[in-house]
Each structure stands twice: as C-alpha cells, then as structure tokens.
Structure 1
Amino acid sequence: MTWQLATTCDKVAPDAPFAFSRGEQKVAIYQVGAEYYATDNVCPHAYALMTDGFVEGDKVECPLHGAVFHIPTGRCLGPPADCDLKTYPLKIEGSQVFIDLS
C-alpha cells in the first residue's frame, strides 16, 4: 500500500466530511462514530460532490438528486444512482489520517 497524508482528525466531523483531492481524483473522508472511512467524492449518477450532501449516521445523501449511499461500504442504497461509490483504505496514526489511493 502507498499511504499518503490526507488530513488530520480534527478536520473531519460526523456531520461534516472532508474533501481530499489528488490530481483529478476526488475523495470524501467521513467520521462515523469513532471510525473513519473514505469514498469517491463524486456521485456516480451525476456530477455532485458527496461532501456537499447530507450525512446521517452511516449514510450520505447526494445533494443533487438524493441518491443514498452506505458510507462504510460505498453501497448504493437508493435511486437514482445504480452503482456504488468506490471506497479507499484509511489508517489513523496519532491525529493524522492517511489514505491509500492505489
């Protein structure tokens, strides 16, 4: 795995995911309870940033058309999207959040 520093834990909150970009790749980093997760930040249905969506518990709703996704798995839970969000491994070291985008 190729780990890179994405952010610090204090920049991610349960109701405010963190947007991380590397080149053209856009990733959303979420806090659900005491755990952190990363998914693609662009809805697969239509271009909208998931970090602009509504987070409730372990689900995020796309701000454009309301598709719902399970944050830990990226699984699509409701239309109009019909495919999942890609997920990425994260690790926490101290207060730093590292991501593997490979």
Structure 2
Amino acid sequence: MSYTTVAHVTELNEDKPLAVDVNDDLSVALVLHHGRVYAIEDECSHGKVKLSDGDVEDSTIECYLHGSTFDLETGRPLNLPATTSVRVFPCRIEGEDVQIDVTTPTTDY
C-alpha cells in the first residue's frame, strides 16, 4: 500500500464531508463518521454530482440531486436511481495527517 496525505485532521468535522482533490483525475469525499474516517470517490455514479455536497447518515452518504445513497465502507448504492458502486479507498490517520491509498481502491461493481 502507498498512502498519500490528503488533509489535516483538524479539517474534518463529524458527518460533514470534505472534498479533496487527490490528483488531476481524482477527487474524494473524506467523511468522519462515528470516529472513523472514510474516503469515497466524490462523484455520484448516476448523476455526476459531488457526493461531498450530500448528507451523511447511518454510515451512508446521499447524493443531494437525485437521492441515491452510498455505503461509506463499500461504495455500494443502496437505492435508485444509482445502480453502480463508487470507489472507496483505504484511509488512515498518521499523526495529524489524513492519508489514503489510491493504488488499491475497492469497489463492489
């Protein structure tokens, strides 16, 4: 695994997604939920809308435009209209840094 620092822990607020540009091709939503940090691709697989603009509840993040919710751990859509998973990435806290590993995303396609 190859972890990259993408944020500082002070930038995270419980259940408030934080949009982070990892590189030119990838943005993720970092979500602190029940004391755990998740990194999920920041684009709804249905409507190409930023998931970081959605609400977090019960270990899910909701696309605000059409209402699809995605499991924070697996990226799996839990309701229509989305039918395709989004990528999730291993995430850890090292000191004060939030780090993700973009080389080993997991999906449930």
TM range (shorter): over 0.9
1:15 is aligned to 15
Superimposed CA distance per residue, residues 44-86 of structure 1 (whole angstroms, 9 cap, x where no aligned partner): 0011000001111311110111101111221110000001111
Alpha-carbon distance in structure 2 between the residues aligned to 1:23 and 1:71: 23
SS at match of 2:78: strand
Matched, 1:44 2:23: no
TM-score (norm. length: structure 2): 0.87
Percent identity among equivalent residues?
A: 32
* 2:6 maps to amino acid: A
Aligned residues between the structures: 102
Q: Partner letter of residue 53 of structure 1?
A: G
- The structure carrying a bigger strand percent of its residues is 1
Moved over 3 A (4+): none
After TM superposition, give the deviation of residue 34 of structure 1 in Å: 1.2
Amino acid at match of 2:61: V
RMSD between aligned alpha carbons? 1.1
Kindly report which structure 2 residues correspond to 1:85-100, keeping only aligned pairs within 5 A, or say none. Answer: 85-100=86-101
TM value normalised by structure 1: 0.93
State how 1:25-64 maps to structure 2 within 5 Å: 25-64=26-65
Task: Report the secondary structure of 1:77's partner residue.
Answer: coil
SS at match of 2:29: strand
For structure 1, which runs of at least 5 residues remain unmatched after alignment? Answer: none
